[in-house]
Structure 1
C-alpha cells in the first residue's frame, strides 16, 4: 500500500472515531457516569480513602479470592498418563516405543513414508 493510500485510510478512520466520540459526548448515560466518578473521587479524597480501602470495606474476602465473585475455586484436574505407542517399521523391522509424536526417528519415518502409512504401523 502506498503512503498516500495509507494516509487517506488512517484519516478516514480518524474521522469515524471523532464522529463516534462526538456521539458519546452527547450521551446522557456517559454524562451521569462521569458525574458519578467525579463525586466518588471527591468523596474518597475528603475522607482520605482509596478504591482499595472501599473494596476491602465492602468485601473483606476480595483479596483472598482469585476468580470472579461467587464462583468456587476450580478443583485441580490431573491428566491421565499418555499410553505408550509401539510402531514397527515393516521394511526394517525396527521398533519404536513413544508416548508422543515428538520422536526423532518417528518424524523421519513420517517424512519418508507419509504420516498415514506410519500410523498404520501402530501396534494396538
Structure 2
C-alpha cells in the first residue's frame, strides 16, 4: 500500500526462509510492477545498492550482509534508479552461496520465488502485479 512516508522509499533488507538475502526498494507512488535484478557471477544482491543514499540515509544492513558491504556497482545502481523512476519496485536476491557467488541454476529459482513472495507480502502487493527480470553474467 502506498504511503507518503519517505522512509518507505528507502531500501529494505531481509533474510527470507532459509537465509536468502533479499533487498528491495519501492518507487514513488503505487508500483506498476516488480523489477528483479539478478547479479553477475562473483557478486551478490547488495551490489545493486549503496551504503549511503543521496539523502544521507544509511543502509546499515550492508554491514551485516553476507558480504559485509554494499558495493553499489554503477550499472546496477543506474538500473535500480531508472526502474524506480519508471514506477517499478526493485528486488535483488543473493544467488548461489549468497556471497561472491554465481547462480545455482538448480536451486536459486525457488529462492527468488520465495523472496519475491516475501516482498509482495511485506509491501502489500497483489499477486497479479507483473514481475520483470534482467540479469548480468550468470544472472542473465
The higher radius of gyration belongs to: 1
**Normalising to structure 1: TM-score of the pair?**
0.22
- Greater length-normalized contact order (CA 8 Å, ≥ 6 residues apart): 2
Q: Which has the higher helix share?
A: 1
**Normalising to structure 2: TM-score of the pair?**
0.20
Q: Which has the higher strand share?
A: 2
